[in-house]
Amino acid sequence: MTDCAVILAGGQANRMGGGDKGRLMLGDQSLIQRVIERITPQVDAVVLNANGDSSRFDDLGLPVVADSIEGFPGPLAGVLAGMDWAAEQGHDWLISVAADTPSFPRDLAVRLAEHDTPVVLAATPDPERGRLPQPTFGRWQVALRHDLRAALNDGVRKIRQWTQAQGETLVVFDEGDFFNINTPDDLAWAEQNLK
């Protein structure tokens, strides 16, 4: 393995009433603990992207990096923070995963790494569009960080707006592999259906 990973936990969790969504409990583990357990065996190193007081994550034993672009610009800023950290650690590739998606595939990194385009995103089947991108789950060439920083400074906020300009590749996984928890109803569903 030569990839490292960033867990994107920098959002404001407005639909869940604020706070750290990754700290919500699903069974006997928090969402973020489940994400850590899934991604750690797939990569060489893991960093957490979160904003605010990083000491609230000390118990996780991970380095924490905040967005370098102010104003909560979204997950692209978290990817950039991960890329900057990856560059400091000497990694050429970064895998991104979301802190609110506890059951993503255990072979995510391997399958994304089968493609050598600069940006590779996960997708799921979609009956109407063929493929539904899951843009917070991707493999990013760290060398693109300067271009991404410039795009963010120019106001780009939508992941696909930037990734399509980089010639993204989509890798289709199974339907339901990227169920994310955005609302209390989602959490209730996950408690009944995710093991």
Architecture in CATH of 3-193:
Alpha-Beta Complex (3.90)
On average, the pLDDT of the chain sits at 92
Please determine, for residue 13, whether its predicted confidence score (pLDDT) is greater than 70.
no
Query: What is the reported pLDDT for 195?
Result: 63
Please determine, for residue 12, whether its predicted confidence score (pLDDT) is greater than 90.
no
Query: What is the reported pLDDT for 11?
Result: 58
Given a contact cutoff of 8 angstroms between Cβ atoms, the answer to whether 163 and 135 are in contact is yes
Residue type, 39: I
For the chain, the structural domain boundaries read 3-193
What pLDDT, in 10s, does the model give residues 91-150? 999 999 999 999 999 999 999 999 989 999 999 998 888 899 999 999 999 999 999 999
Helix (H, G, I), strand (E, B) or coil at 170: strand
What pLDDT, in 10s, does the model give residues 56-108? 999 999 999 999 988 878 999 999 999 999 999 999 999 999 999 999 999 99
- Under 8 Å CB-to-CB from 96, ≥6 apart: which residues? 5, 6, 8, 75, 78, 79, 82, 136, 137, 138, 139, 140
Percent of the chain scoring above 90 in pLDDT: 73
Q: Which of 86, 99, 85, 84 is nearest to 11 (CA)?
A: 99
Q: 33: number of CA atoms within 13 Å, CB side?
A: 11
Please determine, for residue 18, whether its predicted confidence score (pLDDT) is greater than 70.
no
